[in-house]
């Protein structure tokens, strides 16, 4: 077989393959021999059907099988011969197979782009402050008090205020049309928990048990749910019950109830240590995210369309699952603006993967058996499982993912050695894009190297 490769773009090449007639003829004869062994034709014993009859009865089938086999074999031999890093199933454009003539075909093959140079200088990143203030400790202690609070009926009876938990029924009408699917019965809502529509919560503050109130909410024109944009909702709410939180006293007895502490001082010291550990872990994670972002910023990389499409589809599935979990409609998740955002993030993610993959190849990074065994031992210690059981659990695809995680860690460690790190001021804010949030009203709120040898021929309460 002979083959030629011509570049269409940095991520797409055309491969032309020619298979000599002698090879085609031999495979055809072998195909007829196989067909003769299994042919069942009336008047002939099995295996004794004349060759001309076999060709007449099974000629089209044999030609098709030989064609598919030679195209597949020829294409992948060409890919290996020219060291093409294919990232998707090639698209084949065949020519008719004629007796006495070579079999020729062309194929378009998406490839990993060649990166002649990767810029690693000037990766400037900023370390977030890990300072924990007294107010942070006090807020966490207050959270613990709320977590250990008891619920009781206010005595004497009074109007609802922030911190109370109300049990309500409500009916909903949108622009005057009743919406049974948005209504609820015996719904508990907590005032001041930042989970309700602001107008809805304001309408409940000051209510008494037995009150029936009408609360009107007008949704913004850019509301996350397209079905509610610019529309007016009328909630008819009945307050059925009211409970208040009774917080435990912040004393030594409370500290003892929270853990192995003798007093409030020990409790606060433990809270501070945990907050500092969490802040450091978040800061370290932020540095790693930043260094990859800076790497992508500094290196323009052509992105193979199929890898981008796969990443977009994966991100959209995850996002649609998130939106479904928080009560948003699929129509919202499929908006043009959201598609554009996902497209941009997917493109950067693929570029990052291509860059990291190339760095790993150049630096000859891999995961040794000892490194894998050490990680499995860590998992065994953390989970309390026997190491042999963990080894069994991390076989196959799960084991491959673990190896990828270890390799990614080594790559990020390498990039960190190339980065210039500055410390952010104590009050500096470092953030990163988060998944879109939102919910219905009142409800509580790639491996680029994988090749395939198959061929183809042509209810969260808060709503923003």
> 102, 21 in Cβ contact below 8 A?
yes
Joined together, the tokens standing for residue 11 give: 């991520």
CA distances from 396 to 3, 123, 384, 392, 453 (A): 36, 36, 22, 9, 20
pLDDT tens string for the chain (464 positions)?
899 999 999 999 999 999 999 998 899 888 888 887 777 776 676 666 677 777 777 788 888 888 999 999 999 999 999 999 999 889 998 788 888 899 999 999 999 999 989 999 889 999 998 899 999 999 999 999 988 999 899 989 999 999 899 999 999 999 889 999 889 999 999 998 888 889 999 999 999 999 999 999 998 887 777 788 889 999 999 999 999 989 999 999 999 999 999 999 999 999 999 999 999 999 999 999 999 999 999 999 999 999 999 999 998 888 888 777 766 655 544 567 778 888 999 999 999 999 999 999 999 999 999 999 999 999 999 999 999 999 999 999 999 999 999 999 999 999 999 999 998 876 654 444 433 333 333 333 234 433 333 333 333 333 33
Domains of the chain: 2-110 (3.30.70.1050), 150-246 (3.10.50.40)
> 40, 46 in Cβ contact below 8 A?
yes
> 266, 255 in Cβ contact below 8 A?
yes
Q: What's residue 326's pLDDT?
A: 65
Instruction: Give every CB contact of residue 374 below 8 A, 6+ residues apart in sequence.
Output: none
CA dist 212 and 116 (Å) reads 71
DSSP string covering 280-325: HHHHHHHHHHHHHHHHHHH------HHHHHHHHHHHHHHHHHHHHH
Q: What's residue 322's pLDDT?
A: 79
> 175, 232 in Cβ contact below 8 A?
yes
Joined together, the tokens standing for residue 379 give: 């998992």
The CB density around residue 315, as the number of other CB atoms within 10 Å, is: 17
In the block, tokens 């802040």 appear at 279
Joined together, the tokens standing for residue 414 give: 């390498």
Q: What's residue 341's pLDDT?
A: 87
């Amino acid at each position: 077989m002979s083959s030629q490769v011509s570049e269409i773009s940095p991520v797409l090449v055309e491969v032309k393959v020619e298979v000599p007639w002698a090879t085609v003829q031999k495979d055809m004869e072998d195909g007829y021999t196989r067909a003769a062994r299994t042919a069942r034709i009336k008047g002939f014993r099995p295996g004794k059907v004349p060759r001309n009859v076999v060709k007449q009865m099974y000629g089209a089938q044999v030609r098709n099988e030989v064609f598919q086999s030679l195209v597949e074999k020829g294409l992948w031999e060409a890919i290996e011969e020219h060291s093409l890093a294919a990232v998707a199933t090639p698209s084949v454009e065949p020519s008719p197979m004629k007796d006495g003539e070579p079999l020729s075909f062309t194929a378009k093959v998406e490839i990993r782009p060649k990166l002649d140079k990767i810029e690693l200088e000037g990766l400037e990143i900023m370390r977030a402050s890990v300072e924990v203030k007294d107010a942070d400790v006090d807020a966490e202690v207050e959270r613990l008090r709320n977590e250990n609070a008891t619920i009781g009926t206010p005595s004497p009876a009074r109007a609802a205020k922030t911190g109370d938990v109300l049990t309500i029924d409500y009916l909903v009408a949108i622009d005057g049309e009743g919406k049974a699917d948005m209504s609820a019965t015996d719904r508990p809502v907590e005032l001041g928990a930042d989970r309700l529509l602001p107008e809805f919560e304001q309408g409940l503050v000051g209510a008494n048990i037995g009150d029936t109130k009408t609360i009107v909410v007008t949704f913004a024109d850019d509301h996350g749910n397209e079905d509610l944009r610019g529309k007016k909702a009328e909630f008819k709410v009945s307050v059925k019950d009211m409970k208040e939180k009774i917080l435990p006293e912040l004393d030594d007895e409370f500290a003892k109830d929270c853990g192995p502490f003798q007093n409030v001082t020990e409790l606060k010291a433990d809270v501070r240590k945990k907050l500092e550990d969490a802040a450091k872990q978040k800061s370290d994670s932020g540095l790693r995210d930043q260094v990859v972002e800076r790497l992508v910023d500094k290196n323009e990389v052509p992105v193979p369309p199929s890898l981008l499409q796969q990443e977009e589809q994966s991100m959209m599935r995850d996002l649609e699952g998130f939106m479904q979990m928080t009560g948003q409609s699929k129509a919202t998740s499929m908006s043009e603006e959201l598609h554009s955002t996902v497209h941009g993030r997917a493109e950067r993610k693929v570029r990052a993967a291509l860059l990291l993959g190339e760095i790993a190849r150049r630096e000859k990074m891999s995961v040794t058996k000892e490194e894998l065994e050490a990680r499995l031992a860590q998992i065994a210690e953390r989970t309390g499982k026997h190491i042999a059981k963990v080894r069994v659990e991390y076989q196959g695809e799960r084991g491959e993912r673990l190896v990828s995680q270890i390799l990614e860690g080594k790559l990020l460690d390498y990039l960190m050695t190339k980065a210039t790190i500055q410390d952010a001021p104590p009050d500096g804010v470092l953030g990163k894009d988060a998944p879109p949030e939102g919910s219905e009203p009142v409800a509580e709120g790639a491996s680029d190297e994988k090749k395939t040898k198959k061929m183809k021929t042509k209810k969260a309460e808060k709503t923003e």
